Structure 1
Amino acid sequence: MTSKPTDTTKAGLAPIGSLWIDGPLSWLEIASVRSFVELGHDYVLYSYGSVPNLPQGAQLRDAREVWANDDIITHAKAGSPAIHADVFRAIMVRDTGRVWVDTDIIALKPFPADLQWFIGHERDDKLLLGNAVMGAPRGSETIRLLADFLTTPNAIPPWLPQGQRKRMQATLDAGQTLNLGDLPWGATGPIALTHFASQTGDLAHAQPTHVFFPISFQDRKLLTENASLDRATQLIGQDDVLCVHLYSRWMRKYTKGMRGGVPARRSWIGAWLDQRQQVDYDALEQKTQVKAAQQERSKDKLDRIDPVAFLTDLEERKAHIPGGANSSPYGHVMLTTMAKDEGPYILEWVAYHHLLGFTDILVLTNDCTDGTDEMLDALAALGLVSRLDNGPWRDKPPQSRGIARVGGHPLFTRADWHMLIDLDEFLQIKTGDGSVNALIDQIVAKKATAMPVAWRFFGSGGNRLYRDEPVVSRFTAAATDQFVKGHGVKTIYRPEPFMKLAIHRPHLKPKFLKTDEKQLRWVNGSGQILDGRKVAWKYKQGQAGYDLAQVNHYGVKSGEEYLMRRLRGDVLNNHSKYDAEYFRTFDRNDITDTGAADLADKVAKFCTRLLRDKGVKQAQALIRERYAAKLARLRASDGYDDQLAELGFAGPDAGE
């Protein structure tokens, strides 16, 4: 079918099409797409999957509209899907009338529709048409022959050397098949196009080299070398040059080790990106300076905490806990978490889990600016928690360096039982008196040493706006047991010297993985026996149990809180995770679950006692002030209503 131009397309411009198999675009593809969109082209990017960061103004279409082949053809040696793209582009040009461009083509001037022939010489030293740009009048014999050949099973390319063709024919005669992916690199691309254009006489319509390929592959470094800026500008600046090819396979390797993974600012392509503000080079340079300073400050070894001094201080602090410190027949039952600007939720989370009976709570914080550190320090003064800065170390992300710090902490080295969860997760216990001791009773009764507790995702409950009220009572709508994507686990377990700490469940140390020396008898959340060696980070359908315990995962909360979280990111520095698709996937409101909410009154009363402390009260006031200011900026920002609408909140909720 022929795609119709969009309303924003300038009259007289050729419609453009390209292919991206699946996943997010890099700076290179984004630059290519934007270059055409900003010139006014009707641009369609076809894909067999999702493209979460397609530039505004481009259209995303299902690639199956053009070629319904989910079996992506890759080159046998290079592993590249370029072969699939070669077939796709021929079919697309033949059937849609769009002009194909590779996603590493930068448009410099509009492609006029009346040019008609969008094929061009790729080199001056030999006959070779490039197929990075490819278009022809509808009904072109060249394009028809090319598409027919590439979709014909077991076809032998007549443009290959005679010896190769004979070997291929022998393969067919022996009853075997020929696959496009087994052909020599490039055999289905420019060489094939050149062959058929020569055969039909359409070679006469090919544009001169500089129109589409002013910088040849042989001279590609002119695009990236600072010293070559003037020469590249001269070649690319010729009057009838329409675009430039960035040679993505090479470009990715060349820029992989460069600052930010992008070309140097003073190279031709760097200057082009900088001029259009497609790369924030100022931020990259500042980040590099900050990183260098952090590396200078950071040490190869983590700072050692004196266990005697720490534990002595801890016992003194615990004397101030309202109602007294927790104790357990199982010894030291430790809970660990990591925090990045979690201010509004700290007090409730700590109070809730203290009331479950955990004897020690350790919180690692990552550059918090919203009052999180102040609140934790105030609670630490009361003995409820211990806080540890999780600063830079060996260029590791916050979560990885946090794991390393926990492993050497005095609380962990003395712990008899341990659990690591996030601050948007609340452990809900459904057995005995609802305490962590009652849960360990069930594990020990099975002669087990761990329980991977399954998530249950809780949705927004239709709440559009943030309200300064407890999480467990605001959100009681949740996913069913059958929500497979919600079957991630967090594990309560007995630490052993042969285990190593991890986020979802502990692992055997490498030297024990290939032997049967250490067995792991674990149970799921219903007490069913598991082989801990086979437990992944999430359960498969039917493996999770919810009878004894679950981890309430408040991963989305209200619409506004989700937008705030998206701005903040997480301890993995994974800001792109929190998009509208993630919200729609995990905004589960299928059943009502009030298990944690039933503790809300006890938690509220305990929080009231804590707020009598001057330090806690001041920290809570600071958190509210800073969160209110950030929330006000969010509400006043451009696109605020559009972002909420994208999440599914078209109007006010019941709380407004």
Structure 2
Amino acid sequence: MSFSTPLPPVASLWVGGELNWLHKLCLASYAYRGHEVVLFFMADTAPSVPPGVRTAPITDIWDPAPAGHADAPASMLSDLFRLHLLKKTDMVWIDTDMLAVRPMPTADYHFGFEPTGSINGAVLRLPKASKALNKLLEWFDDPEWITPWLGEKDQAEIAKAPPGKRLLRAFELRRPAVGPRALAYTLRKCGELKHAQKPDVFYPLRGVMTDVLFSGHCHQDNWLTENTLAVHLYDSMVRLYHKRHRPQKHSFIARTAHQIGFDLSGLKHQKQGNL
């Protein structure tokens, strides 16, 4: 793939049918900020995407079938795919629920802490020569590997699984085992944790506070700083009501959609609130 902008291209993976409007808004926000955006997909046909977003099959980067992961859960595939993406391209990984606030500069490393002090990989860039990146790829390619960042009880359960299914078993036991926990453990082990950004860069709000993004009564945005590049919406924690209704006028989501020219007219109005 060739790219034409000085900003780093960004990419994500979609497993399943169509994207909901929040995911489309997030992808559109990166295109608006000047990034080239690629959405890789696993289905037979590409999902519909906003203008400025390209689609490409997952196999352009990595085929999960030979490794026995063709039927793995979507989030596990995402955790594995992003590592291959970083090794094979100069793209920055973004989860489809990352909303761009400012253009992301070119850098060897992009990842950050959450307010709780945990590492999150919803935005991830490691150089191809990164010891942590290559160690994770090596470990996850070993069918007999047992994740050392989990406790002894979990490791014993993983050991009972047949080779080739142990990574899946680790994921089943502790969902973050193949993603954030693996990333934090390996970055620390390889001396690369020092490159982590502070929480305000990518995770200015905790997931339990995402309601404020949809409220027309919370338009001061005091949680944003001059360093904030994006906001993680934590899609799994967004209320179903918000996903089905138009965000309140003057809310952060509504203002962002208006700024980038994203059409919200197809969403139902809320019955109450500041419309």
TM (norm. structure 1) is 0.38
- Structure 1 residue 284 displacement after superposition: 4.4
Work out whether residues 207 and 237 of structure 2, in 8 Å CA contact, stay in contact via their aligned partners in 1.
no
Q: How far apart are 1:205 and its partner, in Å? A: 0.9
Q: Post-superposition shift, 1:288?
A: 7.4
Cα distance in 2 for partners of 1:165, 1:117 equals: 30
Indicate the residue corresponding to 2:72 in structure 1: 73
Deviations 1:548-580 (A, max 9, x none): xxxxxxxxxxxxxxxxxxxxxxxxxxxxxxxxx
Deviations 1:121-162 (A, max 9, x none): 123x43x21100000222111111222223322421111112
Q: Deviations over 1:462-492 (max 9, x none)?
A: xxxxxxxxxxxxxxxxxxxxxxxxxxxxxxx
Asked if the contact 2:29–2:99 (Cα under 8 Å) also holds between the matched residues in 1, the reply is: yes
- Residue in structure 2 matched with residue 61 of structure 1 by the alignment: 56
* Letter matched to residue 235 of structure 1: W
The 1-side partners of 2:271 and 2:240 are apart by: 20
Partner of 2:37: 43
Contact 1:265 1:274 (8 Å CA) reproduced? no
Distance (whole Å) between structure 1 residues aligned to residue 125 and residue 200 of structure 2: 17
Equivalent position of 2:93 in the other structure: 100
Residue 244, structure 1, aligned to residue 231, structure 2: yes
Give the corresponding residue for 1:198.
Answer: 188
The one of 186, 190, 194 equivalent to 2:176 is 186
Alignment CA distance shift 1:141-1:167 (3 Å):
same
**Distance in structure 2 (CA, Å) of the matches to 1:98 and 1:91:** 11
Change (3 A) 1:186 1:278: same
Matches within 5 A, 1:423-572: none
| Conservation of the 8 A alpha-carbon contact between 2:8 and 2:90 | no
Q: Residues 140-159 of structure 1: matches in 2 within 5 Å? A: 140-159=130-149
C-alpha distance 284-220 of structure 1, shift in aligned 2 (>3 A): closer
1:73-472 matches, cutoff 5 A = 73-74=72-73, 81-113=74-106, 115-123=107-115, 125-126=116-117, 128-169=118-159, 171-172=160-161, 177-180=165-168, 181-230=171-220, 233-236=221-224, 238-251=225-238, 253-256=240-243, 258-259=244-245, 262-281=246-265, 284-285=268-269
Partner of residue 15, structure 1 = 9
Instruction: Call closer, same or farther: CA 1:111–1:275 in 2, change over 3 Å.
Output: closer
Q: How far apart, CA to CA, are the structure 1 residues paired with 2:138 and 2:164?
A: 21
Q: TM-score by structure 2 length?
A: 0.86
RMSD of aligned residue pairs (Cα, Å): 2.6
Q: Which residue of the partner structure matches residue 33 of structure 1? A: 27
Residues 5, 176 of structure 1: alpha-carbon distance in 2 compared, 3 angstrom cutoff: closer
CA 166–225 in structure 1, closer or farther in 2 if over 3 Å, else same: same
Whole-Å Cα distance in 2 between the matches of residues 137 and 283 of structure 1? 40
Equivalent position of 1:376 in the other structure: none
* Alpha-carbon displacement from aligned partner over 1:93-123 (angstroms, at most 9, x marks no partner): 122121100011111111111x321011123
Per-residue CA distance 1:314-360 (angstroms, 9 max, x = gap): xxxxxxxxxxxxxxxxxxxxxxxxxxxxxxxxxxxxxxxxxxxxxxx
The question of whether the paired residues in 2 share the 8 Å contact of 1:265 and 1:281 is answered with no
| Total equivalences in the alignment | 265
1: distance between equivalents of 2:199 and 2:267?
37
Whole-Å separation in 1 of the counterparts to 2:240 and 2:112: 26
In structure 2, the CA distance between the partners of 1:97 and 1:283, relative to structure 1 (3 Å rule), is closer
8 Å contact 1:94–1:140 — kept in the other structure?
no
Structure 2 equivalent of residue 538 of structure 1: none
Query: What CA distance in whole angstroms lies between the structure 2 residues aligned with 1:182 and 1:283?
Result: 35
Structure 1 residue runs without a partner (length 5+): 75-80, 290-656
Taking only the aligned residue pairs, the percentage that are identical comes to: 27
- Map Cα deviations across residues 575-603 of structure 1 (whole Å, 9 max, x no partner): xxxxxxxxxxxxxxxxxxxxxxxxxxxxx
- Structure 2 CA distance for aligned equivalents of residues 148 and 107 of structure 1: 32
- Pair 270,228 (structure 1): closer, same or farther in 2 beyond 3 Å: same
Cα distance between partner residues in 2 of 1:203 and 1:282 = 43
What letter is aligned with 2:141? T
Over residues 165-219 of structure 1, what are the superposed CA-to-partner deviations in whole Å (9 max), with x where a residue is unaligned? Answer: 12323x15x8894242423121111111100000011001111111111112243
Cα offset, 1:282, TM superposition: 9.5
